[in-house]
Amino acid sequence: MKKWLMLALICLLALCASAAAEERLSIVATDFPCYDFARQVAQDRGEVTLLIHPGVEVHAYEPSPADILAISRADLFVYIGGEGDAWADSILAGLDGEDAPAALRMMDAVALLEEEGEDEGGHEGPEYDEHIWTSPVNAQAMVRALSDALCAVDAANGEAYRSNADAYIARIAEIDAAIAETVEGAARRKLVFADRFPFLYFVRAYGLEYEAAFPSCTADTEPTPQTIMGLIRTIAAEDIPAVYTIELSTQAVARTVAEETGVEILTLHSLQTVTQDEFDAGESYVSIMWKNVEALKEGLR
Ligand SMILES: [Zn+2]
């Protein structure tokens, strides 16, 4: 009798375990910010897949057939909706009816800014900068949007998603406040980037000024000597203490500028790509942004 009871109990436990596994939502995210926000809001109710693997340059990524299959099978697909994942809209358009996952396009969740810098022409209408998450103000709206999307897909757990989102938004709000305070008490407003510039939303959110070697995030060519000389002149004229690069940079231009001016090189992490090491170490939007706060304090002295 005891044996029989034990067996029944084991069967029951196994059933519960498999039911719990099936209940986990499958969430597919294109880049790191979408991935991080999804895992923070879903916690153990979701299995989140990052399509653009750590270390892979976002702007060079192309989805594999396996990626497309993963998107079609997802309960929720989260993407930015800019140039970096422009392929996503065409995949979604190609998946009709039952094959199409619920989709959250993050550029619909925030107020967009037009790309600055050189315009090659030929565009129809405005080109919007896609690096929306670099502003912690936008990041909070993105987390809220993710919570809303998960609530729509899985209403039964809505309360949990909302409370997870509230907690993460509160942590991002602390960063927002720290940056605002840093800028408020800073000796200067200008950042010099000897690199690509994915921080338009960041600088606009806090009333910062910038000068960059490359307009926006594209760097198909070397900057002109005039551009580099311009950065060097600005640093000298305004007594700026640092020159900035972004993550995964060759730092070639930054080294030239630093050697010429004697200032230090600082990294502001745009979060569009994390390294495998950062990923394995469990870095998040919040942990990386706090490092950016420190780098900002250094550069605004
Ligand atoms: Zn970019």
**How far is ligand 1, taken at its centre, from the CA of residue 32, in Å?**
12
Residue ranges of alpha helices (H) inside 154-220 are 158-184, 200-205
Residue 11: the pLDDT is 54
List of residues 6+ apart from 212 with CB closer than 8 A? 117, 192, 193, 195, 196, 197
Q: Is the predicted pLDDT of residue 99 greater than 90, yes or no?
A: no
pLDDT at 101 over 70: yes
Give residue 37 CA to ligand 1 midpoint distance, Å. 18
For ligand 1, the distance from its centroid to the CA atom of residue 211, given in whole angstroms, is 17
Q: Is 31 left (phi over 0), alpha (psi -120 to 50) or beta?
A: beta
Lowest mean pLDDT among 113-127, 194-208, 225-239: 113-127
pLDDT of residue 3: 63
Q: pLDDT grade, residue 222 (50/70/90)? A: confident
Other Cβ atoms within 10 Å of 285 Cβ, number: 24
Share of the chain above pLDDT 90, in %: 79
pLDDT (tens digit, 9 = 90+) per residue, 53-67? 999 988 889 999 999
Q: How far is the CA of 186 from the centre of ligand 1 (A)?
A: 27
The fold of the 24-113+130-176 domain, in CATH, is Rossmann fold (3.40.50)
Distance 301 CA to ligand 1 centre (A): 27
Fold match between domain 24-113+130-176 and domain 177-299: yes
- In this prediction, residues 142-154 reach a mean pLDDT of 98
Distance 272 CA to ligand 1 centre (A): 6
Predicted local distance difference test score (pLDDT) of residue 10: 58
What is the per-residue pLDDT for 20?
52
What's the gap in Å between 59 CA and the centre of ligand 1? 6
Quick one: pLDDT at residue 59?
Answer: 85
What's the CA-to-centroid distance between 257 and ligand 1, angstroms? 22
Cβ count near 272 (within 10 Å): 24
CATH superfamily of 177-299: Nitrogenase molybdenum iron protein domain (3.40.50.1980)
Please give the full DSSP string across 57-126, using - where no structure is assigned: -GGG----HHHHHHHHH-SEEEE--SGGGTHHHHHHHHS-GGGPPEEEEGGGSS---BPPS---S--SSP
How far apart are the CA of 198 and the centre of ligand 1, in A? 6
* Averaged pLDDT for residues 142-156: 98
CA of 130 to the centre of ligand 1 (A): 7
Q: Where are the domains of the chain?
A: 24-113+130-176, 177-299
276 CA to centre of ligand 1 in angstroms: 18
Distance from Cα 58 to the centre of ligand 1, integer Å: 7
**284 near 36, Cβ under 8 Å?**
yes
* 270 CA distance to ligand 1 middle (Å): 8
Rounded CA-CA distance 84/91 in Å is 14
pTM: 0.90
Average pLDDT of the chain to the nearest whole number: 91
Q: With 90 as the cut, is the pLDDT of residue 293 above it?
A: yes
Note the pLDDT tens digit of each residue in 8-47.
655 555 555 555 555 799 999 999 999 999 999 999 999 9
Classify burial at 16, counting beta carbons within 10 Å of its beta carbon; exposed 0-12, middle 13-18, buried 19 or more. Answer: exposed
158 Cα: distance to centroid of ligand 1 (angstroms): 33
DSSP of 232-261, one letter per residue?
A: HHHHHHHT--EEEE-TT---HHHHHHHHHH
Question: From ligand 1's centre to the CA of 215, what distance in Å?
Answer: 11
pLDDT tens profile 250-289: 999 999 999 999 999 999 999 998 999 999 999 999 999 9
Let me know: does 268 contact 198? Beta carbons within 8 Å: no
pLDDT digits (tens, 9 = 90+) for 163-193: 999 999 999 999 999 999 999 999 999 999 9
What Cα–Cα distance (Å) separates residue 85 from each residue in 29, 71, 138?
11, 13, 18
Assess contact for 112 and 85: CB atoms under 8 A: no
